[in-house]
Amino acid sequence: MAKPRKTKEAPKAANPQNAYIEGAGLTVEERITETLRKNFMPYAMSAIVSRALPEIDGFKPSHRKLLYTMYKMGLLSGARTKSANVVGQTMRLNPHGDAAIYETMVRMARGNESLLHPYVDSKGNFGKVYSRDMAYAAPRYTEVKLEAIASELFADIDKETVDFVPNYDNTTTEPTLLPATFPSVLVNANVGIAVSMASNVCPFNLAEVCETTVALIRNPEHDLLSTLRGPDFPTGAFLIWDEEELRRIYETGRGSVKLRAKWNYDKSANCIEVTQIPYSTTVEAIIEKIVELVKVKKISEITNIRDETDITGFKLTIDLKRGIDPDRLMQKLFKLTPLQDSAACNFNILIAGMPKVMGVREILEEWIAFRTECIRRRVYFDLHKKMDKLHLLEGLEKILLDIDKAIKIVRETEEESEVVSNLMIGFGIDAVQAEYVAEIKLRHLNREYILNRTHEIEQLRRDIAEMEEILRDVKKIRKIMVDELKRVAEKYGQPRRTLFLDPTDEPEAAPEDDTPDYPVHLFLSAEGYFKKITPQSLRMSSEQKLKEGDVLTQQFEGTNRTELLFFTDRQQVYKTRAAAFDDTKASVLGDYVPVRLGFDEGERVFSMVPTTDYSGFLLFVFENGKAAKVPLSAYATKTNRKKLANAYGAKSPLVQVLWLSEDSDVLLRSSNNRALLFSTAMLLPKTTRDSQGVQVMTLRAKAKIEYAAAVTPEQLPDLQKYRAKNIPAAGGMARDMEVAGQLTL
């Protein structure tokens, strides 16, 4: 650690009227880690504990402050008020600014449709959760009040069921939690990003959550999946059923579920209408992705796409070309666009101020413990209220014995301050009871009033005994909780919006090739330059541009989907498709294959083999007179590997690679001017790619094979004299001009 620099004491101000600040203008060296600890860590803790993560009641502080403010404003039963009024009042609890408060309100509003059970009844434009670009109106234009279900959040909040703390400037108090009568933490979605951690709680159906909680109270080993079938999202759509993943989410609190859009086909208009989309995406994201796919020609079945969302609800319309199969197109769109998307689950919740990732079972257990304490505190509060009332009525009951005596005591007391003490002495009651009796109006000093009031005493005593029994027995508290959950489910429960889709019910479609298909001409030069030219371009200009000294060695006709195998001089083959290369012209050099496909240093192209179905076989001819017959299917791989080692034998240099669709006649020529014609039917196919082959042509010392070519039926009559009945064979002497002429293809 660097030592702090010694600094001189700052001189005092010359003017005695100027204040002297100790250490002003001095600097002290400090480790960066210490600076971070003192400055960043408090911020990180504040973001985690007081801002970004929800607590067991299902709310972040910003949500809780807003809802509590609306509750105190009387918006639970009153008429709507301007959103600006609520925002202004909320700033007494939330100092983060009006924009942040209003955004919080927007998400909880019914108009935004982001919650299964909105807490804010809204009027006006609040945007939509499924639209990224639909802006919500300013708070001066919209009106709000609390939804009826919000009453379940504030039930008995004034009975000390939760703790209250001072607000940021100590002018009022606010609750630390809301005593929700149902597990709101699981009913409505909640997303938050803190420092180094995040939370993403997906929503579940209210009726299913209440039923599951009741079942868990009665049986801690209850199978959650039997009653809580899966998440239920406000935007609907289909959830692709995956029992294993759901059980993992329920146990660990982490995972993801797949959602698929709901759609139908309008035959009369020849269009697809998407009416529900995954909760995790937006209509703009879907449109942009489809447009992008159309531009790159991965999708060619669509003529137009438009957002037709109106006051009746969401609708995305996709116009199709004539004769298109809508089911097949949608399967393609599900794979390539957010019409099928994944919703992540990360149940990170604050428990007693500590973030904790929990499964659904543990969350419900924590909520049951929290709600148990709320009910206990409520019963304790009511118990003391009834005990206080009973105490007063017991004092009033004693007055019943002699009302005239009470009146006489009051009349004969000279000073007002002594009335209470004289009543205490006269009837044997305490100061609280005497004060209550002394405050009774003169009109109530009759037997009927006193009898009516004291009639409650027996009922109060029974109620107190029952409450004391409840506080002693947690089972009775749990029974109260069960009754409340059943009432909430019956009153506010609604059918599922997100239905299930069993993937096993769908026929497994073969993977479709989206690569555009059109005819092309393929060229390869001796130096390794490759060109893919369309017939139209080749007709306009067929003069090939090449490097000086370079020549074209191979030319094929194929399509854009043709697969290409580039064999190299190092016994390797690189696989790709013609579509991987750009369309070019004859007037350019083309792509340099070793660079384009990432060859090893110094590696060169030996030969190119095009194919569409890996049929036929390859004949490898080596300098030592051997030949290997290998099925082309040996180079087809299911894992789409781009590079295969040991593509052919390495013991002798390779002379030629011939692709043959069926057994044919092949002519070999050696360096000592001998030629041999043989049929490939004499060779057995080899199961291994790097087979060394079998001897076809016997060679004398220092002789080697120089050339090999397949013979066409037109050439065959003139070359019959070189045919071998058996292999290996030495072949016959050939004149240079004769063989060269015969092998010119």
Helix ranges (DSSP H) in 473-560? 474-492, 535-540
Residue 60 near residue 190 (C-beta atoms within 8 A): yes
Q: Are 54 and 60 in contact (CB under 8 A)?
A: yes
Which residues, in sequence order, are CB contacts of 101 under 8 Å at separation 6+? 62, 66, 87, 90, 91, 94
CA distances from 5 to 26, 33, 408 (A): 10, 19, 89
Beta strand pairing call for 499-501 and 120-123: unpaired
Rounded distance, CA 403 to CA 401, Å?
7
At 269 the three-state DSSP class reads: coil
Distance separating alpha carbons of residues 435 and 423, to the nearest angstrom: 9
Q: Which residue has the tokens 């969401």?
A: 314
Q: Locate tokens 């059109």: which residue?
A: 518
CB atoms under 10 Å from CB of 165, counted, come to 8
Phi/psi at 144 (nearest 5 deg)? Answer: -145, 160
Query: Residue 7 in contact with residue 22, Cβ under 8 Å?
Result: no
What is the spatial distance between Cα 650 and Cα 571, in angstroms, rounded to a whole number? 7
Q: How far apart are CA 132 and CA 660, in angstroms?
A: 57
The Cα 233–Cα 236 span in angstroms is 5
Close Cβ partners of 502 (under 8 Å, ≥ 6 residues apart): 241
Q: Which residue of the set 141, 168, 518, 574 is catalytic?
A: 141
Going by C-alpha positions, the residue among 539, 541, 565 that lies closest to residue 554 is 565
Torsion angles phi and psi, residue 613, rounded to 5:
-140, 10
CA distance 179 to 157: 6
Active site residue 141: yes
What are the start-end ranges of the H helices in 197-264? Answer: 206-218, 243-252
Residue 611's Cα: distance from chain center in Å? 40
Give catalytic residues, as residue numbers: 141
